[in-house]
Amino acid sequence: MKAKRPPPACACAAKDAASAGRNAVQVDPQIKADNLVRLRRAEGQVRGIIRMIEEDRYCADIVTQVAAVRESLRAVANGLLQNHLRHCAAAAFRKGSDQADAMYAEIIDLVGRMTR
């Protein structure tokens, strides 16, 4: 079993220790808007897939809709990764070797997750 690495102390880290989560350094408004549109579309598509299955619709039609949802989610992941690289990773790289090394490892892990 692969050992879990603690999250890097990158530029995405929460500003104070009392905060439970991590926040992005900066969120590109256009990427955020595009992601929300894609996610809402995917949400509607998933509801449609549920209805199709309940109605015993043709399998190939359902698979086509599943592929459309996967593409929407892939596009969201790409947008998030773009924002992460542009802002969070760039800030970590500017801060120095420890944070940069942690960020390199995080990016490699993220790319691996996206390509599975």
Does some domain include residue 54?
yes
Q: Amino acid identity, residue 80?
A: L
Does some domain include residue 82?
yes
Query: Contact 39/48 with Cβ under 8 angstroms?
Result: no
Query: Contact 23/10 with Cβ under 8 angstroms?
Result: no
Looking at residue 4, its pLDDT comes to: 52
Q: Along the chain (116 residues), what's the average pLDDT of each consecutive run of 10 residues?
A: 48 45 78 91 96 98 96 91 89 88 92 89
Looking at residue 15, its pLDDT comes to: 45
Looking at residue 19, its pLDDT comes to: 42
The CATH number assigned to the domain holding 94 equals 1.20.58.1000
Q: How many domains are contained in the chain?
A: 1
The pTM assigned to this predicted structure is: 0.71
Looking at residue 116, its pLDDT comes to: 84
Does some domain include residue 84?
yes
Does some domain include residue 21?
no
Does some domain include residue 61?
yes
Domain region containing 63? 29-114
Does some domain include residue 17?
no
Looking at residue 24, its pLDDT comes to: 74
